[in-house]
């Protein structure tokens, strides 16, 4: 899999992809992640990639030409399954979407910045717009990193225990059950007896019940409007 991220601040993305699961996936050549500096695609001597908005108003807008050049260069080299733009008004990112994107071969993520990008880029080149939440960040670099991390960890081989990813929260629209480790009794705080029983079927049933209870209590929205799964 290949993920190309177009950004005006490439240094913001250096650390997230050089540690933990994403780094291991890169080392195993399961994924190739490239950080594309948008300023490399402008002819402006000051490397500017933003300009004032037509019609006035506060804030600057990412210019159409550098973004067009960057995307067209990448597209000339390979086919892309998705060209994603990180935006507060995009689809809300969730585990189902991460699962879908993990099956793709090549993805471009355009990290938004300033007051956004020239609308013509969104109208003509972007295939999907994604938001990671109902709030505004300084730029799309952190959302791009979050989306990439969520995708990469699902690639077979990225996690040594693949069952771990399949049992994550939201995989079946349920929150994960509580987890415990040794010691079984700490300061009088005890691990539930069922987890010490060694009875696999009963333990799995308990975990499912706990997931449903936690989801109902903490995230009832995941159950739908009627509150039932």
**Mean pLDDT, to the nearest integer, of 51-59?**
91
Ramachandran assignment for 92, one of left (phi > 0), alpha (psi -120 to 50 degrees), beta (any other): beta
7 pLDDT above the threshold of 80: yes
17 pLDDT above the threshold of 80: yes
- Domains of the chain, CATH where assigned: 2-152 (3.40.1280.10), 172-223 (1.10.1270.20)
Residue 163: per-residue pLDDT: 59
Q: Give the pairing of strands 106-110 and 82-92.
A: parallel
The token duo for 170 is 């939201």
What does the pLDDT look like over 183-195, one tens digit per residue? Answer: 999 999 999 999 9
CA angle 145, 49, 68 (to 5 degrees): 80
**Mean pLDDT, to the nearest integer, of 63-85?**
98
- Band (pLDDT 50/70/90 cuts) for residue 225 is very low
Say how far apart CA 135 and CA 37 lie, in whole Å.
25
Mean pLDDT of the chain: 92
What does the pLDDT look like over 39-51, one tens digit per residue? Answer: 999 988 899 999 9
What does the pLDDT look like over 158-192, one tens digit per residue? Answer: 987 655 555 565 667 888 899 999 999 999 999 99
Say how far apart CA 189 and CA 153 lie, in whole Å.
33
Which run of H or of E encompasses 100? helix 95-101
């Amino acid at each position: 899999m290949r993920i190309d991220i177009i950004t005006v601040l490439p240094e913001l993305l250096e650390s997230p992809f050089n540690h933990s699961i994403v780094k291991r996936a890169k080392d195993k050549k399961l994924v190739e992640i490239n950080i594309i500096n948008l300023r490399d695609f402008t002819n402006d001597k000051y490397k500017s990639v933003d300009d004032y908005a037509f019609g006035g108003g506060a804030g600057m807008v990412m210019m159409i030409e550098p973004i067009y050049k960057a995307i067209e260069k990448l597209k000339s080299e390979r086919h892309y399954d998705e060209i994603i733009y990180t935006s507060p008004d995009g689809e809300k990112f969730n585990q189902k979407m991460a699962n879908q994107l993990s099956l793709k071969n090549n993805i471009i993520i355009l990290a938004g910045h300033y007051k956004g990008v020239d609308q013509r880029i969104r109208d003509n080149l972007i295939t999907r717009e994604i938001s990671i939440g109902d709030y505004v960040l300084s730029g799309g670099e952190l959302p791009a990193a979050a989306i990439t991390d969520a995708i990469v960890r699902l690639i077979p081989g990225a996690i040594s225990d693949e069952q771990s990813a399949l049992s994550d929260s939201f995989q079946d629209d349920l929150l994960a059950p509580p987890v415990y480790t040794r010691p079984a009794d700490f300061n009088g705080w005890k691990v539930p007896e069922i987890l010490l029983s060694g009875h696999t079927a009963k333990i799995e049933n308990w975990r499912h019940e706990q997931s449903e209870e936690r989801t109902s209590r903490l995230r009832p929205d995941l159950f739908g409007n009627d509150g039932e799964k």
